[in-house]
């Protein structure tokens, strides 16, 4: 069993924000792999299905970004999902727009969603980071991440999420502990 989590904030107000790139990814993954939405779930928006004969859940936590670790921990415990089969997709201001990187563990780099997950679950989980670039003209980072993507940026982000979605089967493989194949695929652009 696998759990993919896309970080973001709930509600239509935040739907196209830079900070909601994780939610955007979950929506595209659910559509591509025909994952079915579970009605009224206490953890958030949950999609369920099969990929490579493995049960897969995709979650957009019900809590705001800064508290997302709570829903995620409850979900992992409820379904007894091993942390090695857990992947978080999130925005990263330290990467150029649309650049994708994957890693296991590490620091939170000031990302409050990751900070909360690290506190509740620990740091040793897989992370897919999608670049949203840094704010220009000394713009406040907190305001920047809560702004919507510009049209030209949105096209680049959709392209990147589509790439991620296409290579997802490398995460859901018999050798899920070795993410080097996925890292190599995603790092090429």
* Structural tokens at position 47: 């999609």
Catalytic position from the list 19, 23, 90, 111 = 19
111 is annotated as an active-site residue = no
Query: Kind and range of the H or E element at 157?
Result: helix 151-166
Backbone angles phi, psi at 118, to 5 degrees: -60, -40
Number of Cβ within 10 Å of residue 3's Cβ equals: 22
Instruction: Give the DSSP letter string of 47-73.
Output: EEEEETTEEEEEEEESS-GGGHHHHHH
Secondary structure percentages of the chain, helix, strand, coil, to 5: 40, 25, 35
> What gap in Å lies between CA 36 and CA 47, rounded to an integer?
5
- Residues assigned a catalytic role: 19
């Amino acid at each position: 069993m696998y759990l993919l989590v896309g970080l973001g904030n709930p509600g239509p107000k935040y739907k196209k924000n830079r900070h909601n790139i994780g939610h955007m990814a979950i929506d595209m993954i659910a559509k591509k792999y025909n994952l079915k939405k579970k009605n009224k779930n206490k953890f958030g928006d949950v999609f369920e299905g099969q990929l490579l004969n493995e049960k897969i859940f995709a979650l957009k936590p019900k809590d705001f970004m800064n508290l997302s670790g709570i829903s995620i921990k409850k979900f992992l415990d409820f379904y007894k999902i091993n942390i090695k089969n857990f992947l978080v997709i999130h925005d990263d201001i330290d990467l150029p727009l649309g650049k994708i990187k994957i890693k296991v563990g590490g620091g939170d780099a000031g990302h409050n969603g990751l900070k909360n997950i690290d506190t509740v679950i620990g740091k040793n989980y897989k992370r897919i980071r999608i670049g949203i670039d840094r704010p220009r003209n000394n713009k406040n980072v907190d305001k920047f991440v809560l702004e919507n993507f510009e049209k030209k940026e949105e096209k680049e982000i959709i392209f990147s999420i589509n790439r991620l979605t296409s290579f997802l089967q490398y995460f859901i493989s018999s050798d899920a502990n070795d993410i080097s194949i996925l890292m190599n695929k995603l790092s090429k652009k």
